[in-house]
Amino acid sequence: MAIGRERAARSILGQSGLRNRNPDNATFDEKETKPRASNFEKVPTPREGSTRTARMAEEYRAEYKRVKRREQFLQDTIDLLSDCNNKESVEELKELINLAKERLIMYKGK
């Protein structure tokens, strides 16, 4: 019976769990507890444009960027290797080869 009266008193004061609680009206013990996150906050929001065509366009753009980066890397490597024909000393050739190795490592890392 006391539980029913307590529930009625809380509903009158606006503290029934169905309404937003006013922290000023809450008891000392209730103020110390962490507020619960609502289920709505836990649900991830869908990314913008989550339709099939939007996903396909996003994948196409990503593939296009990869292809362009690969083409640029290959063109830069060809230019670098063509410079090897113009070098006369072994040290310059070694330097270019090391530079090409570094570029390959950077490309693989991306």
Nearest CA to 106 out of 77, 81, 68 is that of 77
What residues contact 97, with CB distance under 8 A and at least 6 apart?
84
More confident residue, 88 or 26: 88
CB 83 within 8 A of CB 99: no
More confident residue, 33 or 51: 51
More confident residue, 24 or 77: 77
| Mean pLDDT comparison of 10-19, 47-56, 68-77, highest-scoring range | 68-77
Poorest-pLDDT segment among 18-22, 48-52, 53-57: 18-22
C-alpha to C-alpha distance for 14 and 52, rounded to whole angstroms: 46
| 47 inside domain | no
* Number of structural domains found in the chain: 2
C-alpha to C-alpha distance for 97 and 107, rounded to whole angstroms: 15
The pTM assigned to this predicted structure is 0.40
| 81 inside domain | yes
Q: Tens of pLDDT along 57-100?
A: 888 989 999 889 888 888 888 887 787 777 777 888 888 888 88
The pLDDT of residue 49? 52
Poorest-pLDDT segment among 4-18, 34-48, 65-79, 88-102: 34-48
My answer on whether 57 and 104 are in the same domain is yes
What CA–CA distances, in Å, run from 103 to 44, 74, 78, 98? 39, 10, 12, 9
- Domain residue limits at 67: 52-109
My answer on whether 34 and 61 are in the same domain is no
